[in-house]
Amino acid sequence: MATPQKIITFLWFDTQAEEAAEFYTSLFPDSKITEVQRYGEAGPGTPGTAMVVGFQLAGQQFTALNGGPQFTFTEAVSLYVECEDQAEVDELWEKLTADGGQESQCGWLKDRWGLSWQIIPKELPRLLSDPDPERAGRAMQAMLGMRKIDVAALRSAAEG
Query: Does the 73-160 domain belong in CATH 3.10.180.10?
Result: yes
Instruction: Write out pLDDT tens, residues 78-92.
Output: 999 999 999 999 999
Domain boundaries, the chain: 1-71, 73-160
Q: Classify residue 152 by burial, with Cβ atoms within 10 Å: 0-12, 13-18, 19+.
A: exposed
Instruction: Write out pLDDT tens, residues 15-54.
Output: 999 999 999 999 999 999 999 999 999 989 899 999 999 9
CA–CA distance, 148 with 93 (Å, rounded to integer): 7
pLDDT of the residue at 95: 98
Report whether pLDDT(158) > 70: yes
Instruction: Write out pLDDT tens, residues 130-153.
Output: 999 999 999 999 999 999 999 999
Instruction: Classify residue 51 by its DSSP letter.
Output: E
Task: Give the architecture-level CATH label for domain 1-71.
Answer: 2-Layer Sandwich (3.30)
Does the predicted TM-score (pTM) go above 0.95?
Answer: no
Beta strands in the chain (DSSP E): 9-13, 32-38, 50-57, 60-66, 78-83, 102-103, 108-110, 116-121
Instruction: Classify residue 104 by its DSSP letter.
Output: -
Phi, psi of 95 (to 5 degrees): -70, -40
